[in-house]
Every structure is written in structure tokens, then in C-alpha cells.
Amino acid sequence: MNSEIAPSPATRSWREIPQPVKPRAMSSGGRWRLVMAGVRSLALVLFIAGCGWGVWLIVGALHEDPRRRPAEAKAVPMRPPELKTMRDGVLDHAWLARTLELPPRVSLLELDLDQLSARVLADQQVLTVAMRKIFPDRLEVQITERTPVARVHVAMGDTPRDLLVARDGVVFFGTGFDPLMVRSLPWLEGITLEQDGARFQPIPHMADVARILAEAQFSAPHLYHQWHSVSLARMELDREVEVTLKTGTKARFSAKGNIFVQLAHLDDIVERLGRNSGARARIDLTLGREVPVTLETASADPRSVPLIGGGVHASPLFPRSSSKTKREL
């Protein structure tokens, strides 16, 4: 008996099985979440596009030639410039207006800040300057000023002038300072001013001189107010300055030594000289603990008097018990 083997059916997937059941419809909460996700995506895209557009506008405004800008923007006149001065400056808005020399009804778009900054820095009382345009009509000028530490008498042509000197050696005319403060500054001597166009070259070694003056002003103001002049004749070679007091007494300081100790020596000697009416002396403070003093009498016959020295060493406190010193004065 012949039997025929029936072919086996081909393998089928479960996806081909009919599914008469309808899929479950999306709930209202799911639809709301889907809508909100789309809204957030759209908002993010709009935000990025807005930022890019704003950056493009700013870059275009910064690089745009002012001559190509609308005439309406140039027609906005600016307000008077705003001055901000640091470090207790004395320059005012009237000085700024004279210095900038802006034409009437000028607009911000017409200003060349580099040129205006050069005008401000031409006054050597100004140390630094920064300018900023604030549209549509404001110009902000921020400066730092030099502070004078001494003054110098200069013959400029036929007109002598009293100029001020800053701690960095810059010589300037000085505007707005209190006259009493200016008159309290000591004069500089023993220097040669070299002119560079309309200005003078800075005085060398003024940082060391300013350090001596500052130490005297804050540590011994009663001494500082007696200082009439400071000579820099020995500064280049010996790093020494000679101070002349209003009484005529001269004191030599070493810029390499301890200024406070030298001031203490000078204070002691000046006090003892004050007990002799009209006494003047030459005091050498550059030798450390030994301080030779040459006393000048009224007859202009100087005699050497070792107030502190000649083998006698004084401590920084200067005890008053030395009968030898008192007798010699």
C-alpha cells in the first residue's frame, strides 16, 4: 500500500494571526503630555533662534560703518559727558568739558573714543582713562589721577611756573588741588628737568624719594611740616637725599636704610636744637646708629658736634639721660 506523505505547512509568524480586537484609544492625559512635549520643543527652538538673531544684530551693529547708519540715529545729541574719578580725584566736569572740546549737538555715533582718550591722557595729572558709550546719548569717562608728593619751580620761557611731581616722577601742572595742600609739599632741588615736547620727562628715583616723604608724613607729621626742600643731587650715585628744614637745618637720609629709624634720630636732634634759639645744624643720618652733627653758630663759624656719635651709640628710643649731649647743645 503506497502511502503519500503530505507536505508540512510553512512556518508562520504571530503577526499574521488576525486580531479582531481594536487597539485601546489614548487617554486624555497621554494626549495632554504629548501636546506639552511639542510645545516645549517649539519654545526651545524659538529661544535658540531668538538668541542667534540677537547676536547677529549686536555683531552687525559693532562692525557697521557709522557712515552707513540711518541719519535718524546720528541726529540724537548726547548729554554732557559723565566723569567718574577714582582714588579721591579732584578733576571735575568743567575740566572734562574743556579737555574733550566736543562740538555742540554731537552724537555718540560721531565720537572717536581713541582720539578723546588721547586728549584726556595729554594732561599728565591723569594716570588712566576708560571711556564707554551708553546709547542713545550718554558718554561715561572713568579716570584715575596722580597724587602730588612734591613740587618744583620751573622757568618756562619768561614765565616761571610751580609744577607738581607724582610718586612715579611725572611732572604735571595740577588742577583742582587744595592750595593749602600744595603749599605744604616740599620743593625738589638738585634735579635737571628734560623737556619732551610739551611735557617733561619723569624724574628718576622719585619712588624712593616718595617713600621717604610718605614715611615722614605719616610717622612724624610734626617733622614733615618743617621740611622746606629735598635735594636729589646725591641720589644717582649714593642713593641719598638731603632735606632742608624751614629753620635752615639740613638732614641727609639714606634711601637704602631704615627710614623710620632715621626719622627717630632726626626727631631727637631737632628737639635738642630747638632749645637753642636760632641754632642750625647739618645732620648725617646715613651712618646707622652713629649720627654726626655739625652745629652752625650765628657767626657762621661751624663747629663739629657729635650729638650722637663719636663712639657714643644711641638706641632707637634715644634716652635723654646723656649729660654729654645736653652740655654740647
Q: What does the H/E/C string look like for the chain? A: CCCCCCCCCCCCCHHHCCCCCCCCCCCHHHHHHHHHHHHHHHHHHHHHHHHHHHHHHHHHHHHCCHHHCCHHHHCCCCCCCEEEEECCCCCCHHHHHHHHCCCCCCCHHHCCHHHHHHHHHCCCCEEEEEEEEECCCEEEEEEEECCEEEEEEEEECCEEEEEEEECCCCEECCCCCCHHHHHCCCEEECCCCCEECCEECCCCCHHHHHHHHHHHHHHCHHHHCCEEEEECCCHHHHCEEEEEECCCCEEEEECCCCHHHHHHHHHHHHHHHCCCCCCEEEEECCCCCCEEEEEECCCCCCEEEEEECCCCCCCCCCCCCCHHHHHHC
Instruction: Quote the pLDDT of residue 315.
Output: 31
Q: What is the model's pLDDT at position 277? A: 72
What's the confidence (pLDDT) of residue 57?
Answer: 73
Instruction: With cut-offs at 50, 70 and 90, classify the pLDDT of residue 41.
Output: confident
The predicted-structure confidence for 201-258, as pLDDT tens digits, reads as follows: 999 999 999 999 999 999 999 999 999 999 999 999 999 999 999 999 999 999 999 9
Looking at the predicted structure, is the pLDDT value of residue 329 above 50?
Answer: no
Band of the pLDDT at 198, cuts 50, 70, 90?
Answer: confident
**Are 43 and 51 a contacting pair, CB within 8 Å?**
no
* pLDDT in the model for residue 249: 96
pLDDT at 324: 32
Instruction: Report pLDDT for 326.
Output: 32
Cell numbers at residue 148, please? Answer: 602730588
Confidence of residue 176 (pLDDT cuts 50, 70, 90): very high
Tell me the average pLDDT of the chain: 82
Report, as an integer, the average pLDDT of 185-203: 93
Q: Where in the chain is the domain with CATH 3.10.20.310?
A: 71-145
Could you give the CA distance from residue 234 to residue 231 in angstroms, rounded to a whole number? 8
Domain boundaries 71-145, CATH class:
alpha beta
pLDDT band at 180; cut points 50, 70, 90? very high
Interval 259-305: pLDDT, tens: 999 999 999 999 998 887 778 999 999 998 889 999 886 544 444 44
Instruction: Give pLDDT, residue 305.
Output: 45
Q: Tens digit of pLDDT for each residue in 71-105?
A: 555 678 999 999 999 878 999 999 999 999 999 99
pLDDT of residue 76: 86
